Amino acid sequence: MTLRKKLPSAQSLFAFESAARTLNFTDAGALLNVTQPAISKNIAALETHLGTRLFLRKKNGLALTTDGDTLHRAVQLSFTAIEVAIDQISNNTSLKNVLTLSLSTSFAAHWLIPQMPEFRRSFPDVTLNFQLAGGEVTGPLGACDLGLRLENKVAPEDHPIPFAPEWLVAVASPEYIKKNGMLDAPFSGGSHSLVKLDNPRISWQDFLGATSQSADPSLPEVRVPDYSVVLQTALSGRGVALGYVTSCSYLLREGLLMPALPKTLKTNKNYCMVTNPNSNNLQLAEEVRHWINNQSSKILTDISTTFSEFDVVAPGPDSPVAM
């Protein structure tokens, strides 16, 4: 015989559990948002169905009978197990719309976060968690669902999809260039300075050598340890930075930064959006990756058209940036 046939109704079991917990029909009714007579009716129906008394009615309140205590212990265990299961299901459901991204601070701050209004239109219910690094991010995604890596820095267990070329541009704010001129053609009275990242993989010297451009070696420098701060320094008009288009393409398209030298550099490497094949949210990660790649393609097309007069240089085989 099924449990359903052993009970007059499911409501009678809820009424019994509340009454056994409070030992008061009025309080039990308040817990279930029903009246005291409704509790009494459900308990009476349950006792009649089981053929036994579950409560002793005393002047000072209720007490469980032996049978009532036996049923209460079983109901407590069952209800607790059900609550745990429901909580687990609820947590799993809420995590289905959460993605953890492994990114550089510069990409997050200057590319992705400025486009969050557009992202929200496509993914209104998705929560993004960020695991950020101040420099170039390497290594496996680990517990993250999606990340950005240079193609030769992708872990074997992760799945890369090309995102954007490694493309470097000397960048500065429009106000800075209006005041000081281009880096290779400074205005009289202008005051250029170079923003440099500590221990860069591609240095200003590498960039200038690969593109056959020059800059005054006596220019003052601003050195910072985080590439996000490199771009922020350029945005604030404090100097010319070496901009990786991966991070600054949105800023270039929006006119917040602009090229400060006529030649740009594309190495023979690409950045990739990387998914974790063991992610619990792999389908969502793939959808977000697709959105990011589409946005990147649109932006790269826009800036290629806008800055078509700027030469794009590929490094020679002996160039340090071709390694």
What single letter denotes the amino acid at residue 251? L
Predicted pLDDT at 96: 66
pTM of the model: 0.69
| Final residue of a structural domain among 66, 95, 124 | 95
For residue 4, the model assigns a pLDDT of 73
Residue 136: closest CA among 244, 50, 275: 244
Q: Where residue 39 sits, what CATH number does that domain have?
A: 1.10.10.10
∠ at Cα 128 (156, 90), nearest 5°? 100
Q: Tell me, yes or no, whether 121 and 56 share the same domain.
A: no
Overall domain count for the chain: 2
Both 79 and 113 in one domain: the answer is no
Residue 145 shares a structural domain with residue 254? yes
User: Torsion over CA of 54, 59, 61 and 63, rounded to 10 degrees?
Assistant: -30
What's 264's domain CATH number?
3.40.190.290
Residues 91 and 107 in one domain: no
The three-point CA angle 238-172-209 to 5° equals 105
Judge if 21 and 167 occupy the same domain. Answer: no
For residues 311 and 180, membership in a common domain is answered with yes
* Structure confidence at residue 315 (pLDDT): 54
The pLDDT, as a whole number, for residue 26 is 92
pLDDT for 323: 44
Same domain, 68 and 116: no
- Name residues of the chain where pLDDT drops below 50: 318, 323
Q: What is the pLDDT, as a whole number, of residue 95? A: 53
Q: Which of 36, 66, 95 is the last residue of a domain?
A: 95
Give 219-257 pLDDT, tens digit per residue: 999 998 899 999 999 999 999 999 999 999 999 999 999
Close Cβ partners of 263 (under 8 Å, ≥ 6 residues apart): 211, 212, 213, 310, 311, 312, 313
* 75/224 same-domain check: no
Q: Are strands 263-275 and 311-313 parallel, antiparallel or unpaired?
A: parallel
What is the residue range of 15's domain?
Answer: 3-95
129 with 104, same domain?
yes
| The pLDDT of residue 189 | 80
Q: What's the pLDDT at 284?
A: 93
Asked if 254 and 163 sit in the same domain, the reply is: yes
Do 38 and 146 lie in one domain? The reply is no
Looking at 35, 68, 95, the residue that finishes a domain is 95
Is residue 128 domain-shared with residue 197, that is, in the same domain?
yes
Quick count: other Cβ atoms within 10 Å of Cβ 271? 24
